[in-house]
Structure 1
Amino acid sequence: MQDRVIVVTGAGGGLGREYALTLAREGASVVVNDLGGARDGTGAGHNMADQVVKEIKDAGGRAVANYDSVAEPAGAENIIKTALDEFGAVHGVVSNAGILRDGTFHKMSFENWDAVLKVHLYGGYNVIRAAWPHFREQSYGRVVVATSTSGLFGNFGQTNYGAAKLGLVGLINSLALEGAKYNIHANAIAPIAATRMTEDILPKEVLAKLTPEYVAPVVAYLCTEENPNSASVFVVGGGKVQRVALFENAGVTYDKPPTVQDVAARWDEITDLSAAKQADFKLG
């Protein structure tokens, strides 16, 4: 990480703070971005980002604060501009900024749906898109997005959050393909940790074992030049690091368009995953 410049969004507290501190300890120059708002995305302030920057500098590291919103393209452009103005380059983006507006689907307002997608999914796009030309020009870049088990497996009352988080997996899968020839790697982590985002969701005895310190080293490694992986998803928390992937079975092949009855007759074969293998889907 020495002399690398990494942008961490949502770095004013919780996981993002720990990512920024860990990256700085490993020698990176860090842009600590945080809007400074509440968990639901309302409000703003400078204290959170400023405090993390102070912690990094007090420990002998290099960091600069940024307070722009990732939800707006202009804000994302300014986040990357902060990296360029302060450190002269940008080598990686950790897209971590997020908000929660939970609610069951039949009560999900468009406002709460839209707000969550704007921060998580559009926010990821906005910041990575602003950094992408620099990654291509220097033939190097590292992207880490924060997905979630809510997106990978679902979670009651989080249709907006789950949709946004799985959308980020689709984003890094395609970024990995487009960035391969430019030495740009894009990966996702689904962190399980005790933060203000999860403090009233998980039981206290579970939260006690889920500190952000277990997650941050994995994020930092994914930002290194040595990391060989791209288009990979990792579930990380409580001391466990797992890779998660899609699997497929051999399937059923029809010589001619099947009838509904043909599909029904072989449904058990179509849905049987007992001999499934990791999917390696390619168009064409």
Structure 2
Amino acid sequence: MTFDLTGHVVVITGAGSGMGAAHARGLSRRGADVVINDLPGVGEKRAAEVAEGVVAAGGRAEVIACDVSDPTSAQQLIDLTLDRFGGIDVLVNNASILRDGDIPDLSTADWRAVLGVNLDAAFYLTRACWPRMAEQGAGSLIHIGSASGLFGNVGQLNYSASKMGLAGLSRAAAVEGAPFGIRSNLIAPMSATPMSRSANQSEGSEPAPRRSSRVPAREILGHELFDSYAPEDVTTLVAVLAHRTSTISGHYFTSAGGRVSEVVVAETDGYGFSGLSDEALATALEPRVVVPGLSIHTGMLGHLEALRGASRL
């Protein structure tokens, strides 16, 4: 049974292709009115094709092309949505870019570009839709993060920082939004999309110049398993978090291949070190937390190994 999203107005950024397009189609099939955003030009053309498919299937969709990393454009996207649909119930901050590189080779321009799209845009849009959501006493913010942000990854300092920043934004918005009925959650998905395939150098593509020592997820998981991760599987979680009856807020989830896990931020009981020597405190801080059913990853590789292990169950 799928949730009925009739009456929900949903804005999805970066929705001309890949995961964003899958969310637009999937949420529309559940009855939502969707605003499909992408960059002017090629992105806008792709967004129009997605919208045409939605309308042909009996749904309602609008394309609003703009660069959401620009604060004025982000505000205009929300203003136009309110003008055309009369409200906004769900914001899916999906727009994202990659500019991988090992730390010594990472340019300032690539650092700023990635944070601009992946983090700044989410802030601009959250700020823009907040007053209306607060006024109506309900709203769902769904931020598309990454396991690279939650766990860290080699060759992706800018991307990981932007996505971990998005996790902080999501949690803070959940805390501040609670009195107004505004919920905020983050999904760290993995699926076979044009962006992920490009990052993982799928078969038949020209290899990109090697600027990063990051090991592609597709190579670790295996091509068959990675390629089986459909973006539509992630849409199911988006729909659950989008529905106005949901009370879920302030959570982080990973989603891949129909497997959903919650990622938690936890604190131990701590260690009293008043009067302890440096050596005694260092010994006390050695990793030793073991919780049944909880995996503690020290990097992206641990997450990928967990996915690979789950596929064998």
TM-score w.r.t. the length of structure 2 is 0.82
Counterpart of 1:2? 6
Counterpart of 2:289? 274
Counterpart of 1:180? 178
Deviation of 1:159 after TM superposition, in Å, equals 0.5
Aligned partners of 1:196, 1:210: CA distance in 2, in Å?
A: 13
Stretches of structure 1 lacking an aligned partner (at least 5 in a row): 37-42, 279-284
Deviation of 1:276 after TM superposition, in Å, equals 6.3
Q: Does 1:86 align with 2:107?
A: no
From 1, 20, 38, the counterpart of 1:16:
20
- Kept in 1, the 8 Å contact 2:185–2:251? The answer is yes
Counterpart of 1:77? 75
Q: How many residue pairs end up in the alignment?
A: 268
Closer, same or farther in 2 for the Cα pair 1:248/1:275, shift >3 Å? Answer: farther
Summarize deviations over 1:195-239 as a string: whole Å, max 9, x none. Answer: 111114124323321110111110111111222211100000112
Aligned partners of 2:226, 2:291: CA distance in 1, in Å?
A: 34
Deviation of 1:247 after TM superposition, in Å, equals 2.3
Summarize deviations over 1:134-192 as a string: whole Å, max 9, x none. Answer: 11111111000011010111111111000000000000111111100111100000010
Instruction: Say which SS state the counterpart of residue 6 (structure 2) adopts.
Output: coil
Q: Pick which of 10-19 and 207-216 moved more.
A: 207-216
Aligned partners of 1:243, 1:85: CA distance in 2, in Å?
A: 36
- Kept in 2, the 8 Å contact 1:6–1:93? The answer is yes
CA RMSD after TM alignment = 1.7
Instruction: Say which SS state the counterpart of residue 51 (structure 1) adopts.
Output: helix
Aligned partners of 1:15, 1:224: CA distance in 2, in Å?
A: 19
Counterpart of 1:111? 109
- Kept in 1, the 8 Å contact 2:9–2:87? The answer is yes
Closer, same or farther in 2 for the Cα pair 1:45/1:194, shift >3 Å? Answer: closer
Aligned partners of 2:97, 2:81: CA distance in 1, in Å?
A: 24
Stretches of structure 2 lacking an aligned partner (at least 5 in a row): 201-217, 295-313
Q: Does 1:34 align with 2:38?
A: yes
- Kept in 1, the 8 Å contact 2:37–2:44? The answer is no
Summarize deviations over 1:16-51 as a string: whole Å, max 9, x none. Answer: 001111111111111100115xxxxxx754211101
Aligned partners of 1:123, 1:9: CA distance in 2, in Å?
A: 9
- Kept in 2, the 8 Å contact 1:249–1:272? The answer is no
| One-letter amino acid of the structure 1 residue matched with residue 39 of structure 2 | L
Aligned partners of 2:288, 2:142: CA distance in 1, in Å?
A: 30
Aligned partners of 2:227, 2:287: CA distance in 1, in Å?
A: 39
Q: Pick which of 233-242 and 201-210 moved more.
A: 201-210
Aligned partners of 1:5, 1:13: CA distance in 2, in Å?
A: 20
Deviation of 1:246 after TM superposition, in Å, equals 1.6
Aligned partners of 1:8, 1:273: CA distance in 2, in Å?
A: 41
Please give the residue correspondences for 1:180-259 in structure 2 after superposition, counting only pairs within 5 Å.
180-200=178-198, 201=200, 202-203=218-219, 204-254=223-273, 256=274, 258=275
| One-letter amino acid of the structure 2 residue matched with residue 248 of structure 1 | E
Counterpart of 1:138? 136
Counterpart of 1:161? 159
- Kept in 2, the 8 Å contact 1:248–1:276? The answer is no
Counterpart of 1:281? none
Deviation of 1:272 after TM superposition, in Å, equals 4.0
Aligned partners of 1:10, 1:273: CA distance in 2, in Å?
A: 41
Deviation of 1:263 after TM superposition, in Å, equals 3.7
Aligned partners of 2:95, 2:192: CA distance in 1, in Å?
A: 16
| One-letter amino acid of the structure 2 residue matched with residue 106 of structure 1 | P
